[in-house]
Structure 1
Amino acid sequence: MFIALKVTHIVFVVAWMSCLFVLPRVILHWRKICYSSQESEAFKSLSIGLFRFGSLMAILAIFFGIWLWKAFSFNGAWLHYKMAFVFLLIIYHLISGKLLLNIIKNKPFRSNIALRLFNESSLLIVIPIIYFVVSKNA
């Protein structure tokens, strides 16, 4: 059961991360074509779908992560550090949703540079998580 639970958690985490990595990029491209209504609607649909899928994957990843944590009594400083960075990823996800909502409400877009920096910043949160998980027994 431990392996199946761990694999399930990892699958949902990977799915969530793929959405976190792609959604800001889609928003950036949406910004570039916002004056062409047909393409804009396609990017709007894609962005909303990505956010919804990513939200579901986040909920499932967190659920299975908590299940792993409680069922197998994981503990240690690495877990606390990892959870702090997971919390930052949740905030990042919510900010992505806020950006999306602002765009849907026709509020002004952020600048290209701000969106690019935001897009790349998720990796700065994910790398420490991977490090803490891999080095927990080292």
Structure 2
Amino acid sequence: MDEYYNYIKSLHLIFVITWFAGLFYIVRLFVYHAEAKLKPQPEQDILIKQYQLMSYRLWYIITWPSAVLASIFAFWMLFGTELGSAWLKMPWMHVKLGFVFLLYLYHLKCHQIFVQLQRNEVKHSSGFFRLWNEGATLILFAVVFLVILKDAFNWIYGVIGIFLFSVILMLGYKFYKKVREKNKS
């Protein structure tokens, strides 16, 4: 094993964690922004201004730098070490990289939404954003199962579990929405 591999892997993991933290929180701020748009004035303007500031700082100070650094350390592990080169030949790594590609797409879509909300263009409901927030959760589950299990047969169970988990999340969201609507009445 390369002498510095565990240091590189540790830094990669740290920035993956902060990247996901940023993704989870930015979408929560999207939810709040969409809900603030429905508030009366001057509350609406005050809240939106605050959410835009919080989103801006989170996105550019934590989320984007974490994504870039996680990617740099990932490429270093995969292409700069012997172990990484061996992993690139394994089927589970190909599947994992497919999920990582989905994560990049998710991140870029969040960036598009972020830019719209910075202009105060709310094109989605808070309900949409609540469901959208689960996208990062599903990708996280898939990647963790793949990295830990590595076995082609076992990761299939993990992916099936992710699918079932997403169905449970959707049902839970619908139940939560009904409870919220009932409490508003």
State the TM-score, normalized to the length of structure 1: 0.92
Match of 2:73 among 50, 58, 64: 64
Deviation at 1:103, TM superposition (A): 1.4
Instruction: Report the aligned-residue RMSD.
Output: 1.5
Amino acid at match of 1:22: Y
Unaligned runs of 5+ in 1: none
Aligned mates of 1:55, 1:88 — CA distance in 2:
16
State the match for 1:38 in structure 2.
46
Amino acid at match of 1:5: I
Compare relative contact order (CA 8 Å, sep 6+) and give the higher one, 1 or 2.
1
State the match for 2:63 in structure 1.
54
Percent identity over paired residues: 27
Deviation at 1:61, TM superposition (A): 0.3
Unaligned runs of 5+ in 2: 155-185
Q: Deviations over 1:48-67 (max 9, x none)?
A: 11221211100110110010
Match of 1:5 among 5, 8, 14: 8
Amino acid at match of 2:52: K
Aligned mates of 2:122, 2:78 — CA distance in 1:
42
Aligned mates of 1:107, 1:17 — CA distance in 2:
24
Judge which range, 74-83 or 101-110, deviates more.
101-110
Amino acid at match of 1:78: W
Which of 1 and 2 has greater Rg? 2
Aligned mates of 1:37, 1:106 — CA distance in 2:
10
State the match for 1:136 in structure 2.
150
Secondary structure, counterpart of 1:101 in structure 2:
helix
Aligned mates of 2:49, 2:108 — CA distance in 1:
22
Contact in 1 for aligned 2:34/2:122 (Cα 8 Å): no
State the match for 2:91 in structure 1.
77
Secondary structure, counterpart of 1:106 in structure 2:
coil
| Paired positions, count | 138
Aligned mates of 1:39, 1:113 — CA distance in 2:
18
Deviation at 1:112, TM superposition (A): 2.0
- Residues 1:103 and 2:103 aligned together: no
Contact in 1 for aligned 2:92/2:146 (Cα 8 Å): yes
State the TM-score, normalized to the length of structure 2: 0.70
Amino acid at match of 1:31: A
Q: Deviations over 1:13-35 (max 9, x none)?
A: 00001011111111101111235
Aligned mates of 2:92, 2:72 — CA distance in 1:
19
Contact in 1 for aligned 2:31/2:127 (Cα 8 Å): no
Amino acid at match of 1:101: V
